[in-house]
């Protein structure tokens, strides 16, 4: 995911303090591209005051006259919506939406639109979007401050990035290469043969045993050393089974 390809677009913001709050929320989560569509009162001291240490985002904010200008070079646009529309549009929550944005932002320009404090985005503006984003709230009190709404969306984007970094870092620091598909297939053949020798698996009526074992091991990425350990256990099991069969035949 490339956060530099994601812009937060505020449409006709009424209160300058909300612009500062949005800048602070964005910087907390590592986003930096802020676009303001015809703000009612900006620049303003309240915006700088609310931005705290995110004044650099205000300084680099782009001010335009229309939504069309704000998103002209974007390939993917998300519009925030608090209500159902007469014509249904693809609608996701922030977590689902972050996943979609994350998969596109490496190669595309993405915009997330937030509407006016009192009435949100117009139907015409929402129809310029690829999908709509809705933040689930309590029915008892559904009103969200603009900066709070932006914070929620930016947080989900941040978590997606952090999780990806943690997963990549974990794999990079692993002490042994992960098992290849080819070696895993050899393991499954070895496992099935051993279970058959143990008479735990009946080849004539296998049911779903191997499929379930594949699913079990598939949930974990085995490395080559772990796989060799399991193959070693299967080999020793085979030896003990062979001895048991030989002893049984001698008794007969």
pLDDT tens string 151-208: 999 999 999 888 875 555 555 667 788 888 889 989 999 999 999 999 899 888 877 8
CA dihedral of residues 59, 73, 66, 99 (deg, nearest 10): -80
Report the run of H or E that residue 170 belongs to, with start and end: helix 146-172
Tokens of 181: 């598909």
Residue 227: pLDDT band (50, 70, 90) is very high
- Please tell me the predicted confidence (pLDDT) of residue 248: 75
Q: What percent of the chain has pLDDT over 90?
A: 58
Describe the strand order of the beta sheet including 6-11 as a list of residue ranges.
62-64, 33-37, 6-11, 110-114, 76-80, 131-133, 91-92
- CATH (domain of 205): 1.10.8.590
Q: How far is CA 76 from the centre of its chain?
A: 16
∠ CA 174-177-179, rounded to 5° = 125
Supply the CATH number for residue 40's domain.
3.40.1280.10
Residue 158's pLDDT is: 94
92: Cα separation from own chain's centroid: 13
Give me the residues paired with residue 34 across strands. Answer: 8
Do both 108 and 212 map to the same domain?
A: no
Secondary structure string (H, E, C) spanning 65-93? CCHHHHCCCCCEEEEECCCCCCCCCCEEC
CA 80 – CA 68 distance, rounded (Å): 16
Residue 202 and residue 241 share a domain: yes
Do residues 152 and 189 both lie within one domain?
Answer: no
Rounded to 5 degrees, φ, ψ at 177 are: -60, 150
| Of 15-29, 133-147, 191-205, 236-250, minimum mean pLDDT range | 236-250
User: Do 214 and 150 share a structural domain?
Assistant: no
Regarding whether 131 and 237 lie in a shared domain, the answer is no
- Based on the fold, state whether residues 83 and 153 are members of the same structural domain: yes
pLDDT tens digits, one per residue of 115-137: 999 989 998 898 888 889 999 98
Same domain, 62 and 167: yes
Q: Can you give the residue range of the structural domain that contains 223?
A: 181-251
How many other CB atoms sit within 10 Å of the CB of residue 224? 13
Please tell me the predicted confidence (pLDDT) of residue 82: 72
Sort residue 137 into left (φ over 0), alpha (ψ -120 to 50) or beta.
beta
Contact 44, 73 (CB under 8 A): no
Reported pTM? 0.71
101 and 133 in a single domain? The answer is yes
Split into its structural domains, the chain has a count of: 2
Quick one: average pLDDT of 34-39?
A: 98
Which residues share a beta bridge with 91?
132
Given pLDDT bands bounded at 50, 70 and 90, which one contains residue 35?
A: very high
The domain boundary, picked from 139, 172, 205, lies at 172
Question: Could you tell me if 45 and 113 lie in one domain?
Answer: yes
Of the residues 172, 189, 208, the one at which a domain ends? 172
Percent of the chain with pLDDT over 70: 93
d(CA 128, CA 16): 26
- Are β-strands 33-37 and 62-64 bridged in parallel, bridged antiparallel, or unpaired? parallel
The residue among 126, 147, 172 that closes a domain is 172
Whole-number Cα distances in Å, 94 to 100, 151, 221, 243: 10, 11, 29, 60
Question: Is the predicted pLDDT of residue 232 greater than 70, yes or no?
Answer: yes
Rounded to the nearest 5 degrees, what angle is found at the Cα of 189, between the Cα atoms of 185 and 191? 110
Cis peptide before 134 (omega within 30 of 0): no
């Amino acid at each position: 995911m490339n956060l530099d390809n994601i812009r937060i677009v505020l449409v006709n913001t009424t209160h300058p303090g909300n612009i500062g709050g949005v800048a602070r929320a964005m910087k907390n989560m590592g986003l930096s591209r802020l676009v303001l569509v015809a703000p009612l009162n900006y620049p303003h001291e309240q915006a700088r005051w609310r931005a705290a240490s995110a004044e650099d985002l205000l300084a680099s904010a782009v001010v335009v006259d229309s939504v069309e200008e704000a998103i002209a070079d974007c390939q993917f646009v998300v519009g925030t919506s608090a209500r159902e529309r007469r014509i249904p549009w693809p609608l996701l929550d922030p977590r689902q939406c972050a996943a979609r944005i994350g998969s596109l932002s490496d190669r595309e320009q993405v915009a997330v639109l937030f509407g006016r404090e009192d009435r949100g985005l117009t139907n015409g503006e929402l129809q310029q979007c690829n999908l709509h984003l809705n933040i689930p709230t309590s029915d008892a009190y559904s009103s969200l401050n603009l900066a709070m709404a932006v914070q929620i969306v930016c947080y989900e984007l941040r978590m997606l990035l952090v999780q990806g970094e943690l997963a990549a870092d974990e794999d990079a620091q692993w002490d042994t290469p992960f098992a290849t598909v080819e070696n895993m297939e050899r393991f499954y053949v070895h496992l099935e043969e051993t279970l058959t020798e143990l008479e735990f698996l009946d080849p004539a009526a296998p049911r779903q045993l191997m499929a379930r074992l594949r699913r079990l091991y598939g949930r974990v990425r085995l490395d080559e050393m772990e796989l060799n350990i399991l193959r070693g256990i299967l080999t020793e099991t085979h030896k003990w089974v062979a001895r048991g069969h030989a002893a049984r035949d001698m008794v007969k």
